[in-house]
A and B are shown apart, each in its own frame.
Chain A
């Protein structure tokens, strides 16, 4: 079984500030981890993924995430927030059954 925990439902940052969105996972097998972004009334867009290899992964739009097995975490960061980053962000894990399990999502707001 696998699960994802995204604490909090809303994060607000100022434009230009650091973005940190937290994700912790539980998996009985080595996990594949994903971050997706969803804009209103749209589908999901893959930001980045971790499968194997380098634990620091870089994605689109300046986002990156670090897989920390000892902490069972896969937090998403971006050094400098942009207004266009305002959206819903989902962390997801897949395991042996190849099904994606999503966290409940977190809304990112960016203040001018």
Chain B
């Protein structure tokens, strides 16, 4: 149980285009999802917290107009990288928190984004 999927697993896009990454909780309802960014050989950096039906809360320094997050249902959150640039290339990981369990997060397999 508690499986989280991400799609796509990797994507290459041209500079200036937008790309959408999906995060789904497959067998549970997730009232809260988190989006992280990970640079090579580094730790995970929390980008934003996404609550179903409300606006995402972004961490300091994260551009909310560049990284659009939508959490339209209890099983789906999306991250859209708008007007992507090479510096946005990274590994993006989502996690989902089970409703009623405030401390435990289940992680997706990650999405590798390369902007050329």
Contacts and interface: CB of A to CB of B under 8 A. Distances in A.
Interface of A: 32, 36, 41-46, 49, 51, 90, 94, 98-100, 102-105
Given A98-B102, A105-B43, A42 B109 contact: yes
Contacts of B107: 36, 43-45
B45 to A, nearest CB: 8
29 contacts: A32-B103, A36-B107, A41-B91, A42-B109, A42-B110, A43-B4, A43-B6, A43-B93, A43-B108, A43-B110, A44-B93, A44-B95, A44-B107, A45-B107, A46-B106, A49-B103, A49-B104, A90-B43, A98-B32, A99-B49, A100-B34, A100-B44, A100-B46, A100-B95, A102-B44, A103-B43, A104-B42, A104-B43, A105-B42
Interface residues of B, number: 23
A43 B111 CA distance: 9
Interface of B: 4, 6, 32, 34, 42-44, 46, 49, 91, 93, 95, 97, 102-110, 112
Contacts, number: 46
A102 B49 CA distance: 15
Contacts of B104: 46, 49
Given A41-B112, A102-B43, A105-B43, A51 B103 contact: yes
